[in-house]
Amino acid sequence: MPIELISVLVGLILTVMVFSYLIGDNLFFRIAVYLFIGVASGYAAAIVVHFVIIPKLIQPFLAFDPLAIIAFVLAVSLLAKLFPGISWVGSFAMALLVGVGAAAALGGALVGTLLPQAQAAVDGFDLRSAGGGFNALMQLVQGGVMLLGTVFTLASFHFSAGRAADGAPKRNRILEGVAWVGRIFIAITFGVLFAGVYMSALTAMIERLSFIINSIRGMAGF
């Protein structure tokens, strides 16, 4: 049997097993999910071993690189977390890992999100590239919408409030109105994101259905 036919047949069977979830949770769907999780986990482990652990840790360690030796010792100390009696050995490495991860996440949010968002809001009012006329007007409108959307959205996360005479929370009416507009922007954003996810899923489903049809036609031709 040709290798191409075996590959198509396996892909067809797995696709049908996944689509069997349409009639309810069943054994075939769970087998396909387990296979997917197992293969994905094995692939991720192989990538980590071949492209991270061996070239970034083992090889420098064998070459007596001081930084690699420190990293190796810290990595080994994390294994102590598996044993409650000596779990304190890995506390320093865990604290270092969490601290570096938090700093990297904060830096990524600042450099990758906040600063580009602020720069985009400023660039929206740069009319030199618009060429004047109607294009400049449209760019000004787009820049204004982007700036107001950013400000209103940030205002919607301002939860501080005073207290009325009866003890109920009372917010500034202007701030409450701005926050309400910000929630509209958030709802629109979530709607666009959901539509994008839905279109991606629909595209994947169409591709799989096309694969089933083409596979059946191909096997009929053998």
- pLDDT tens, residue by residue, 53-110: 899 888 988 888 888 889 889 988 998 998 988 999 999 999 999 999 999 999 998 8
In Å, how far are 8, 31, 33, 123 from 20, measured between CA atoms? 18, 11, 12, 50
Residue 139 three-state SS? helix
b vs e for 191-200, b when ≥16 Cβ sit within 10 Å of the residue's Cβ? eeeeeeeeee
The Cα–Cα gap between 193 and 195 comes to 5
Q: pLDDT tens across 161-201, in order?
A: 666 666 656 667 787 888 888 899 999 999 999 999 999 98
In total, the chain counts a number of residues equal to: 222
Is the CB of residue 107 less than 8 Å from the CB of residue 99? no
